[in-house]
Amino acid sequence: MISFVKRFLIALIIIAVLYALNLAMSKEGLFGFGVPLYQVDLWKMAGINIILAVSLNLINGFTGQFSIGHIGFMAVGAYSSTFMTVYYTQGLEQWLAGILGASVAAAIVFALVIIIGALAAAVAGLIVGIPTLRLRGDYLAIATLGFAEIIRIVITNMNKIGGATGFRGCVDPITNITCSDPSLGRLTIPAYTNFFWIGFLAVITIVVIYNIVNSDMGRALISIREDELAAQAMGVNTTRYKVTSFVISSAFAGVAGALYGHWRLPHPNDFTFVRSFEIIIMIVLGGMGSITGAVLGALVITFVPEVLRMLPGGVYNYRLVIYALLLIIIMITRPQGILGNYEIASWLKRARKRPEGGGAIGGSTGAPIAEQSDSTKKSEKELENR
């Protein structure tokens, strides 16, 4: 009972903090304290990236199945949810607004379309996952990449959702130009998304993935990552667990897509495979198989390019070159990512236990090296298996 009260209080505090932050990020600000618009956008993007990275980490980091098609499911979520708000939910929202007030009605409708986006992405995940998860390693990676590209190209060819020019609002099915008749649908996608929604759903994502990882299912997933054959021999239904985690992961990508779609208006160019790589970079940088690592990676990848914008004139043009170089150097010097397999809490505990100044920086002691030699062993095993 006490733990229930405690959890409830924590949830309330998180909501209150997010609400206050949301006010601070609005135009008016909170108690005269406001965040510049440009930084607000960055924090929103960071939140969406956290949802994407944490959810991809479930399949890539914990289940060990190498997917590089995450952005495709985000696209499905973005387009299906905006499709609903443009063509179908307007009447519902007006009806609800008459009873509950405009802002509550908008919130209910948005929650509804986020769920629709998540479900659509989950269905897409199921359709993609069932055939492709039979494949292993690099073949799985390239098949998921292929599916994501196909999803993007199909979207590019659908005129009702804007096609190659991006989706802004209602498109007349006959003339293929923006509607002039409001009865056909909304003329612009409503901008429901604010920082509260993004922050709230990022927290939900983290909590759900954390609970999955620390449950029976999580242990089954990790056993698949460590050794699929052994897991199968122990009676783990590997196919079912792989597909389930893939579907859950896709559903959260759909949530991220719904948030993105009602903020930036979806465009096919936002969902290229290059963006999929970006999400993978986040989780590898933060440490595969670490939820806090994925959060950290998402923050780093969102903010580092912006920090590099502050470089002085002559170097400014080379900021993306520096970004790429940093990425390579980090991979060479810290291949297991910033946190490796650890969560921030246990990582700090370990760091405190470590003797002062002794070899920690040189990296000759401590668990990360053990993990590193593990992967060396693994690749050696792969070499033997050829």
Partner 1 sequence: MDTFVQQLINGLNIGAIYALIALGYTMVYGILRLINFAHGDIYMVGAFAGYFIALKLGLGPSWGGLLFVLIGSMVVAAIFGMVIERFAYRPVRKYARMTTLITAIGVSLLLENLFVALFGGQGRGFPQLINDTTFPLFGNAAISKSQILIFAVSIALMVILQWIIFKTKVGTAMRAVSFNLNSAKLMGINTDAIIMFTFALGSALAAAGGVLTAQYSPTIDPLMGITTGLKAFVAAVLGGIGNIPGAVLGGLLIGVAETMVVGYGSNIGIQSTYRDAVAFAILILVLLIRPSGILGTTVQEKV
Give the C-alpha distances (Å, rounded to integers) separating 66 from 214, 242, 277, 313: 21, 11, 12, 40
Minimum distance from residue 317 beta carbon to partner 1 (Å): 5
147 near partner 1 (CB under 8 A): yes
Give the total of residues touching partner 1 (CB under 8 A). 56
Minimum distance from residue 1 beta carbon to partner 1 (Å): 43
Helix 273-286 vs helix 137-156: crossing angle, to nearest 10: 140
Q: Kindly state the tokens that stand for 52.
A: 């994407």
178/232 with CB nearer partner 1: 232
DSSP secondary structure string, 28-92?
S-BTTB---HHHHHHHHHHHHHHHHHHHHHIIIIIS------HHHHHHHHHHHHHHHHHHTSHHH
386 near partner 1 (CB under 8 A): yes
Minimum distance from residue 313 beta carbon to partner 1 (Å): 13
Region 166-195 residues binding partner 1, contact defined as CB under 8 A: none
Where do we find the tokens 């090296």? 369
Buried b (16+ CB within 10 A) or exposed e, 376-386: eeeeeeeeeee
226 near partner 1 (CB under 8 A): no
308 near partner 1 (CB under 8 A): no
Q: Kindly state the tokens that stand for 46.
A: 């960071």
Minimum distance from residue 310 beta carbon to partner 1 (Å): 17
22/276 with CB nearer partner 1: 276
Minimum distance from residue 51 beta carbon to partner 1 (Å): 21
191/324 with CB nearer partner 1: 324
SS3 171: strand
320 near partner 1 (CB under 8 A): yes
Exactly one of 29, 101, 137, 358 binds partner 1 (CB under 8 A); that residue is 137
Region 61-100 residues binding partner 1, contact defined as CB under 8 A: 66
185/368 with CB nearer partner 1: 368
Region 323-342 residues binding partner 1, contact defined as CB under 8 A: 323-325, 327-328, 331-332, 335-336
Output DSSP code: residue 168.
-
Exactly one of 56, 288, 295, 299 binds partner 1 (CB under 8 A); that residue is 288
274 near partner 1 (CB under 8 A): yes
d(CA 360, CA 363) in angstroms, rounded, equals 5
Side-chain-side CA neighbours of 372 within 13 Å: the count stands at 16
Report yes or no: 178 and 171 within 8 Å, Cβ to Cβ: yes
Report yes or no: 57 and 294 within 8 Å, Cβ to Cβ: yes
Q: Residues 23-62 vs partner 1: string with x where CB under 8 A?
A: -------------------------------------x--
Minimum distance from residue 331 beta carbon to partner 1 (Å): 5
Give the C-alpha distances (Å, rounded to integers) separating 142 from 69, 70, 119, 276: 8, 12, 24, 12
Q: Residues 229-248 vs partner 1: string with x where CB under 8 A?
A: x-------------------
d(CA 303, CA 245) in angstroms, rounded, equals 29
SS3 178: strand
Stretch that binds partner 1, among 103-111, 146-154, 165-173, 255-263 (CB under 8 A): 146-154
384 near partner 1 (CB under 8 A): yes
Q: Kindly state the tokens that stand for 78.
A: 């973005």
Q: Which residues bind partner 1 (CB under 8 A)?
A: 60, 66, 131-132, 134-139, 141-143, 145-147, 149-150, 153-154, 156-157, 164, 229, 273-274, 277, 280-281, 284-285, 288, 317-318, 320-321, 323-325, 327-328, 331-332, 335-336, 372, 375-376, 378-380, 382-386
